[in-house]
Amino acid sequence: MQSSERLSFMPVSLQDMQERGIQQLDFVFISGDAYVDHSSFAAAILGRFLESKGFTVGVIPQPDWKDCQSFTVLGKPKYAFWVSAGAMDSMVSNYTANNKPRSSDVYAHGGVAGKRPDRALITYTAKIKEAYKGIPVIIGGIEASLRRFAHYDYWSNTVRRSILLDSKADLLIYGMGEHPIAEIAQGFREGKSITQLRGIRGTCWRTGKKEDIPAGATDGQGKFQPTIFLPSFKEVSANTPEGKKSFAHSYIMQEKNTDAMSAHILVEQSEERFVVQEPPAFPLTTEEFDAVMELPFTRRWHPMYDVPAENGKIGVPGLSEVKFSLVNNRGCFGACSFCAITFHQGKRIQCRSHDSLIKEATILTGDKEFKGYIHD
């Protein structure tokens, strides 16, 4: 594996850190996906974004969740671990709709299944806290976003409580992460503790003290919006007609508060604890979106995947569908019942500029594998 080629990626080993003269990383990303340095993969986007802010960042992709040492290969970060189950919910990645184990995983080396645990955020957070006592753990991604409050879990056929409580993570980022992750990182840089980082848009936090809950927050139009208390976990998890009505009421209140310009703080009680959701992060401006998509991605999988996996295949199959695609926009006002985009990315449409898209398309033409067309 060429050392010079590895240097164009974020560090994945102590040797990579040493070659960059890094004694201790500021942050470490734990990802349920293989490491692909492309703008369709969250660890790459947010890692490169933090690098652009002057932070040092490393990635531990698909660690062995049965071995605590797999979570220590980059040492203890100065500030925190960022943790994601990957581009998909880990249960969706691991099982079919018939609850059968999947035979492959397009986000793993060679497409080999079984590289991520069930309910990955819970497992990863536990292993990090076992390895490093007291280190802040911040979870995010689609698994965190869609499980941030009490939710129906298809595989157990039950209503489960917030993943923030089940994982015991210190903070949860929901939706698209650039704005909250930048604010959190800057807070750490200024010496703030994890509890001092409450109140950041696009995050959820937990508390056992009702007096910690703010009375409300100012929305995107400068209007004070009072805090809304959702039905409690006890109410929404009751297997009764009243429980199902409470669940539906809770969901519609969450859906109505997906717009950053008008959303309220939402609170859900679970026994003696409270999950507090700050209003959504403001959408990226066109200029901000352009800057994120123009970060120095290598647009390929890490060289460690150039060797054959257990099945004899190289690479990461998930890259093929997006390698020659362009990310044009985020968000959707549709709120279709079969789709999570509105709930995850918000209702506001965020678009890149034509110049930025043309610039990226021009870069694609320089790839020897480019066939002359851009994938949808």
159-213 confidence digits (pLDDT tens):
999 999 999 999 999 999 999 999 999 999 999 999 999 999 999 999 999 999 9
Provide mean pLDDT across the span 77-102.
Answer: 97
Q: How far does the chain reach from its first CA to its final CA, in angstroms? A: 33
Provide mean pLDDT across the span 122-146.
Answer: 97
Q: What's the chain's average pLDDT?
A: 95
The pLDDT score that the predictor gives to residue 376 is 73
pLDDT category of residue 324 using cuts at 50, 70 and 90: very high
pLDDT at 74 over 70: yes
Whether 375 and 326 have beta carbons less than 8 Å apart is answered as: no
Whether 275 and 254 have beta carbons less than 8 Å apart is answered as: no
Closest CA to 172 of 82, 76, 52, 45: 82
Provide mean pLDDT across the span 100-106.
Answer: 96
Provide mean pLDDT across the span 18-34.
Answer: 97
The pLDDT score that the predictor gives to residue 335 is 81
Name the helix (H) or strand (E) containing 201: none
pLDDT at 1 over 90: no
pTM over 0.85: yes
- In whole angstroms, what is the distance from residue 36 CA to residue 84 CA? 14
Count of beta carbons in the 10 Å neighbourhood of residue 59: 25
The pLDDT score that the predictor gives to residue 148 is 98
Residues sharing a CB contact under 8 Å with residue 222, sequence separation 6 or more, in sequence order: none
Query: Taking CA 61 as the corner, what is the angle to CA 154 and CA 6, rounded to the nearest 5 degrees?
Result: 155
- In whole angstroms, what is the distance from residue 104 CA to residue 93 CA? 9
pLDDT at 99 over 80: yes
Residues sharing a CB contact under 8 Å with residue 160, sequence separation 6 or more, in sequence order: 147, 150, 151, 152, 153, 166
- In whole angstroms, what is the distance from residue 265 CA to residue 213 CA? 9
- In whole angstroms, what is the distance from residue 286 CA to residue 9 CA? 26
What token pair was written down for 167? 């994982």
pLDDT category of residue 3 using cuts at 50, 70 and 90: low
Provide mean pLDDT across the span 144-150.
Answer: 97
pLDDT at 12 over 50: yes
